[in-house]
Structure 1
């Protein structure tokens, strides 16, 4: 299944083979989750990380904010929604890692607000495929929505847009790696990330920005270990994808919980005179919080802790 050269850095390739492994149903060896996984991810809180965002759009770089929210939830495998009854003990109850990734930035006079949600089963050996992705984008021209669901072994993609050429779509995509699932795969155990030549459905954010058709592409995936970079003064790892004249590098800590330090994304931006630009997101802060109960005016102090705007 489903390099970036630092002349002043000491870089070494990370070994791909896991030391502790188990068999998936597909017979694929996968590294086990860290011993502290349940203590960290099932403590009744979400992990919230804020990032300073420099977003490429319309051939320029725009400042903004990004947030990654990771939290485990009970999920209905059949309905592919969060279960109301988390005590449901049927086989339909699948524990997932939900990622909500948000981006907010201004382009000239008008704002962009974007959100991508993924629902990835925690038990990779029992449920090796991501179950669902939803992505929306709102700006003054209009809004768009895209959803992928695992159905009958493939992915059903439905998309809705205010652009005539994109229109409303309902298509089936083969079951290959989805770029959007890899963020959660890092958090489970990065030893399980795909390496080498792979088939990949691009990021739904990227498809939105480039107005491209969603379809599998051949990509090259690699992992590196670096001693320092602009994202951290401590040793950390980089997972890189390259395809379609695009390069995505995700920087993350080498030890559990494999916190994502930031990312860089380089591709052609703009339509009349496109330029090859790089989007960057650098971590501001990380907190654990049951944020769903932090909805009063006094809780805005937590946004200050995260370094996010109050208004």
Structure 2
């Protein structure tokens, strides 16, 4: 390790020392703050014909250096085909094969020197219980394209991976352990859209499947591990570009991997105000170079974005703190 890289690792360690210490922008616990109103039923909010759009100030470590970019999260409900695992064009044609899903599209854009990364994760979960049925991932950069699709069934996850690397493309099946959690699910599960994922102060260890985004950066295979998820006992006040929020906080510790914190707005619809992954103390150097990933909420709105494709509609991105073209 060079002196410069040693200083970088030491600085990161100082920034993230202590899983329960408030990070920059987060104040000490605020247990005495008044509770918000009761959450509305899921359908009355999410079946209004609109999507939630969240824009984030984003940073990620790539090739051992901190990169800055932007991230967009789009949440929307839609009819889904049980047999084809795609959005249904006309739900009335085959109602027995159709069910409602909540879809998350998570888009990360960041620059690495002369070229940029554009990645997108799509997660589809059943609206009734938030169990995943499909996840897809695409990565585009100057070296080539990568696409992965996971079909999720009880007891089984089927993977189809196409890569520009000769030995990476594959099709395989792995078990889906009972109670297993995919990393992509954290952006939905921890929001508690139909009740708390955990009560304050509770913790549990679950089988855990690292995200396609994480596996792409580290070139790791599809493999389950374990993660300990804890909801901190007290809420915290967090300040991000979008404002000041009272948040409940989840800690996620991946076995032999990074540690994450998720700050979720206590008021419905419980938006993810901030997330941050950082290198776990004592983990290997390979993980330490590519484990940091964080987002701070810059803006949020609820709208029918698919209608906003005209010249000049780029102005709506400003509500999210985003720039056209990911720049």
- The TM-score bracket by the shorter chain reads 0.7 to 0.9
Structure 2 counterparts to residues 27-106 of structure 1, below 5 A: 34-88=39-93, 90-106=95-111
1:5 to 12, 16, 21: 21
Superposition CA RMSD, Å: 2.6
Q: What is the aligned partner in structure 2 of residue 22 from structure 1? A: none
Report the Cα offset of residue 267 of structure 1.
3.1
Looking at structure 1, the residues matched to 107 and 287 of structure 2 have their Cα atoms a distance apart, in angstroms, of 28
TM-score of the two chains, using structure 1 as the length reference: 0.83
Looking at structure 2, the residues matched to 180 and 272 of structure 1 have their Cα atoms a distance apart, in angstroms, of 22
| Counterpart contact for 2:124–2:134, Cα < 8 Å | yes
Report the Cα offset of residue 131 of structure 1.
0.3
Looking at structure 2, the residues matched to 210 and 173 of structure 1 have their Cα atoms a distance apart, in angstroms, of 22
Corresponding position: 1:213 with 2:221: yes
Looking at structure 2, the residues matched to 248 and 273 of structure 1 have their Cα atoms a distance apart, in angstroms, of 14
Looking at structure 1, the residues matched to 46 and 164 of structure 2 have their Cα atoms a distance apart, in angstroms, of 38
Structure 1 range deviating more: 245-254 or 282-291 = 245-254
Looking at structure 1, the residues matched to 174 and 290 of structure 2 have their Cα atoms a distance apart, in angstroms, of 31
| Counterpart contact for 1:173–1:215, Cα < 8 Å | no
1:265 to 277, 280, 301: 277
**Which string of whole-angstrom CA distances, capped at 9 and with x for unpartnered residues, describes residues 228-274 of structure 1?**
23446432112221113201222111132111112101138998895
SS of the residue corresponding to residue 268 of structure 2 reads coil
More helix by share: 2
Q: What is the aligned partner in structure 2 of residue 177 from structure 1? A: 181
Corresponding position: 1:229 with 2:238: yes
Report the Cα offset of residue 171 of structure 1.
2.6
Structure 1 range deviating more: 263-272 or 218-227 = 263-272
TM-score of the two chains, using structure 2 as the length reference: 0.79
Corresponding position: 1:240 with 2:251: yes
Q: Give the count of matched residue pairs.
A: 286
Corresponding position: 1:292 with 2:306: yes
Looking at structure 1, the residues matched to 81 and 169 of structure 2 have their Cα atoms a distance apart, in angstroms, of 29
**Cα 1:136/1:110, change in 2 over 3 Å:** same
Looking at structure 2, the residues matched to 95 and 195 of structure 1 have their Cα atoms a distance apart, in angstroms, of 30
